[in-house]
Amino acid sequence: MTARVVTKANRRRGLTAAAAVLLLVLGAGCSNGPSSTDTAAVTTEARPGAEPNAQIDPATADAVDDAIENVMATASIPGAIVGVWGPDGDYVRAFGVADKTLNTPMKTDFHSRIGSVTKTFTVTGVLQLVDEGLVSLDDPISMYVEGVPSGDEITLRQLARMQSGLANYTEIDEFQQAVLANLEANFTPQQLLDYAFARPATFPPGQGLEYSNTNTILLGLVVEKVSGMSLPEYLSQKITQPMNMEHTSLPVTNAFPGPHPTGYTTQTADGEEAVSTDWNPSWGGAAGAMISTLDDLRIWAPALATGALLQPETQAQRLETVAVQGAPSEISYGLGIFDVGGWLGHNGSIPGYQTVSVYLPERETTLVIMINTDIPYEGSSPSALLAEAITEIISPDNVFRLDAGM
């Protein structure tokens, strides 16, 4: 699912803080911005501060270049940063422009808003507390947060695996109107939950699977209550610092470290394209507000998929996925992580930005994609289209494919 601030025309489709697995039909319309071939040459750069590894063979690199440029031209993606790392070599390149007005090129060291990739960090925090014996995945959420409908029946496991049945606050009209009315507003977790709790559940706890950002907002509160730290502090001290991810953070305002690209979206009151770079992402919170870089997600994707920060038995529980109703059998969801054709990780979308951060254990290969638009193409996420085109080349037996309407 993507983080959509809906327009008057597509409001029912929801502002959904960036989930990867359950892509909804996002509504028509795409940017009229220039394609990568119109704007800037492909930029090939070594990872900052890292020793260069062997590059993938030139024929494969050329094929990936062509695939990326074709998707960017078709879907009107202004700029993209792409990294592939694996036993066959590295591929790290930037395409297109960071700003369509200034025509400045994308660079591989830019920061980006990562939407629902945030969920992988928040749920990892909960699982670390499990390893410390401070919480159990089968604890009811009522042990930690008051006022949750059916809170005595909804477990932390169900929240992490999108099986609570709680309404998704980002799909509620009143919430969407509040965001559009003030794009600089700060939303507290309780404000977000109030929107959700005012709506009936969509199914009894544990008896379905439906993506809801409400689930991860609650899990963020659990981390804060049990650890005694704010969620940004916890994620910094327990996850990003130990992993040497110096450029990854959870902001509490619209602060956006540079350098970063300009973000383009049509999630506006009139449906016209706008610059969303400095919009406040606080409404995403524990579910979708984080910022990162290509190099940091290159570290995070395999760490997430292999359980680098967790006990093996806890990671095994994380990877117990369930099928997504109505989706192909190749798509399933675990505890804050998805499996798409064997690729483990998450993607994210927030107005102006989309990210894919995944790892393929079978080939020990990492793929990270960051783009500066969330404008759908024929109902599909542009970042997912890029991931599909790239994996058709680098892992033809394991294609990352999210069909339109999923």
**What is the residue extent of each domain of the chain?**
11-394
> Residue 93: in which H helix or E strand, if any?
strand 89-99
Which residue in this structure is represented by tokens 């074709």? 70
The tokens describing 155, both together, are 């477990």
What per-residue confidence (pLDDT) applies to 9? 33
Classify the C-alpha dihedral 333-335-339-340 as positive or negative: positive
Residue 156 CB contacts under 8 Å (≥ 6 apart), including other chains: 126, 135, 136, 137, 138, 139, 141, 219, 222
Residue 28 has pLDDT above 50, yes or no: no
* DSSP-based three-state secondary structure for 360: strand
What is the spatial distance between Cα 300 and Cα 368, in angstroms, rounded to a whole number? 10
What is the spatial distance between Cα 101 and Cα 251, in angstroms, rounded to a whole number? 27
Residue 365 has pLDDT above 60, yes or no: yes
Confidence of residue 124 (pLDDT cuts 50, 70, 90): very high
- Of residues 8 and 232, more confidence is placed in 232
CA-to-CA dists, residue 281 to 18, 170, 293, angstroms: 12, 12, 17
Which residue in this structure is represented by tokens 């190099």? 295
What is the spatial distance between Cα 242 and Cα 235, in angstroms, rounded to a whole number? 10
Residue 70 CB contacts under 8 Å (≥ 6 apart), including other chains: 389
Report the percent of the chain where pLDDT is more than 70: 86
Mean pLDDT of 233-244: 98
Topology of the domain covering 11-394: Beta-lactamase (3.40.710)
Cis amide bond preceding 259, omega within 30:
yes
Name beta bridge partners: 96.
79
Confidence of residue 393 (pLDDT cuts 50, 70, 90): very high
Please give the model's pTM, rounded to 2 decimal places. Answer: 0.90
Mean pLDDT of 315-330: 91
Judged by phi (left if over 0) then psi (alpha if -120 to 50, else beta), residue 34 lies in beta
What is the spatial distance between Cα 321 and Cα 397, in angstroms, rounded to a whole number? 20
Residues 219, 164: contact at Cβ < 8 Å? Answer: no
